[in-house]
Amino acid sequence: MRMVFRWFGEGNDTVTLDQIRQIPGVEGIVWALHDVPAGEEWPMDRIIEVRDQANKYGLHLDVVESVNVHEDIKLGLPTRELYIQNYIRTIEKLAQVGVKVICYNFMPIFDWARTELHKEMEDGSTALFFEKAKINGVDPMELVLGITKNSALTMPGWEPERLVHLTSLFEAYSGVTVEHLWDNLAYFLEAVVPVAEKHGIRMAIHPDDPPWSIFGLPRIMTGAESIRRLLSLNDSPSNSVTLCSGSFGANPDNDLIAMIGEFHEQIPFAHIRNVKIFENGDFIETSHRTQDGSVNIAGVVRAYHEHGFTGYCRPDHGRHIWGEQCRPGYGLYDRALGIMYLWGVWDALEQAKAAIEKEAGRS
């Protein structure tokens, strides 16, 4: 397991590279050029700038999250050809600085969606919260009006500068089905996967978050069956999955341990996050500790260990603790605590394995 840490860039993150390098076992950053609009080709000078910043602190930049996929690609519009070529050129540039994994998603309009940024928990910490009733049955056009009028309904997974395009995007997706989205994903992968494979890069799709339809939009990466379908589209090792325990884990029907067992060879990148699911389907993000949520994090780590996982792993969203002012879900403190919990489980498993091997050597 190779531990990495999400970093949003100088001037765009409350966490510094100097702080990241002090977290035990962290060897690299998970990064992106967040100011480059989706669909645009990434400038080489900016890529080199981030590489040099990371190198200064002994951190690699093997994992990119995300090179965002333009909506025209998801919609299958004729203009997708331009954006696919931009994507290919970006892959080629990232290969030049040693990138090994590109995490991306194929969620229409919204990336990860939550309804509250700072839901208070019993211990006084706050966390990202998803309230089903606030989204179920919401008319998309009412949503647009509500967000543009600064309503209490927030979409923290959506860049503010793109909110102005919501109306036209909802109109564009009218009539787009799950099958249309699968077809458009297949077309995209047919174009980019050979390029990624040539350069030793794995395209690792992130699951839909949450893993079900919101606002009537089609969503396709929701569980084990969708992973099987994804892998059937292209049998290249560069067609792979970012297995996010928080995203898939928001649906209790998803058996994460079984999924790791079935797909571990196609998982180059793991997000490990815990969520507590309530009886009505609401969920809140918790600490990484198994007992604090509904996801068996210790079991997830054990599954990776049993299958000899050598891919990249990062603690996903954390709580906001000790008064830290930070990007929602991305504070330093709770994610660092999460890393130490993950290493604690991993190290215990390593010691147990060593003890068994030692005993076997005596017999």
Q: Which residues are catalytic?
A: 206, 244, 271, 316-317, 330
Task: Report which of 312, 111, 73, 112 is spatially closest to residue 204, judged by C-alpha positions.
Answer: 312
Q: What is the dihedral of CA 262, 265, 268, 270, to 10 degrees?
A: 30
Amino acid letter, 328: P
Retrieve residue 47's tokens: 């890529």
Pairing of strands 60-65, 101-104: parallel
In the chain, DSSP finds a helix count (H) and a strand count (E) of 13, 12
Q: Considering Cα of 12, then 103, then 148, then 79, what sign does the dihedral take? A: positive
d(Cα 71, Cα 88) in Å, to the nearest integer?
Answer: 16
Contact 303, 257 (CB under 8 A): yes
**H-run or E-run covering 48:** helix 44-56
φ, ψ of residue 244 to 5 degrees: the values are: -100, 115
**Could you tell me the CA-to-CA distances from 68 to 19, 300, 337 in Å, in that order?**
27, 28, 29
Burial of 179 (0-12, 13-18, 19+ CB in 10 A): exposed
Distant-in-sequence contacts of 75-79, Cβ < 8 A, 24+ apart: 75/172, 75/173, 75/176, 75/184, 76/180, 76/183, 76/184, 76/187
